[in-house]
Amino acid sequence: MPFLIKGLLLGFSVAAPVGPIGLLCIQRTLEFGFLSGLLTGIGAAVADSVYGCVAAFGLSAISDLLKSLDIYLKFIGGAVLCYLGISSIIRKKISQNHNVDRKKSCLSSFVSSLGLTLSNPATIFSFMAIYSGLGVGQTSGDYLSASIIVLGVFLGSAIWWLFLSCITFFIRNRMGSTLIAWINRISGAAIFGFGIYIFLG
């Protein structure tokens, strides 16, 4: 139970700071609805859990491989963010949320956020440092505590994305289409900025 609580707090605190995935979650909730925004966050939560597993179970071969590919993954992640940002800026009108649009947006929301979060291997080393401080995985075969804390990370992250999607959807229903379109453009510009920052980093 202590490891589960620590994992919950860790997952929540990792997800909560405002970043490109948070902006995408807000943007997609405004444009496509609650489920699309939530799945954007869940994609990030799954990616965090994958990297959390690599760190917790000491899978050094995978972490070394990802470290060697760091520059290429950054390039891909930055390019995707720039593309998503520009697409939002130049989009002339918000989708009318037809069923086909919803299905496509939900699938692409999950896959794109999963890929974007996985394109940042530095997450592994952050988790390694945190897990070391929590005393996770330091004992050989300590798979139970590692599994529990990774589960907690996923649940804590998912709770944040559920909260953010709910709040955004609640506000969305009180906005006009013009305001939503402007928020979409502004968030698109911010997402594009994150993409440029990743390139320069």
Q: How many domains does the chain have?
A: 1
Residue 87 belongs to a domain: no
CA distance 69 to 77: 12
Q: CA angle 39-152-30, nearest 5°?
A: 20
- pLDDT, one tens digit for every residue, the chain (201 residues): 677 888 888 888 878 777 888 888 988 888 888 999 999 999 989 988 887 777 667 655 565 666 666 677 777 777 877 888 787 777 655 554 444 456 666 888 899 888 888 887 666 666 666 666 665 554 445 677 778 888 888 998 899 999 999 999 998 878 777 777 777 788 888 888 877 887 776
Helix (H, G, I), strand (E, B) or coil at 180: helix
Contact predicate 86/192, CB 8 Å: yes
Q: Fill in the amino acid letter for 183.
A: I
Residue 88 belongs to a domain: no
Give the domain range for residue 10: 2-69+93-174
Residue 195 belongs to a domain: no
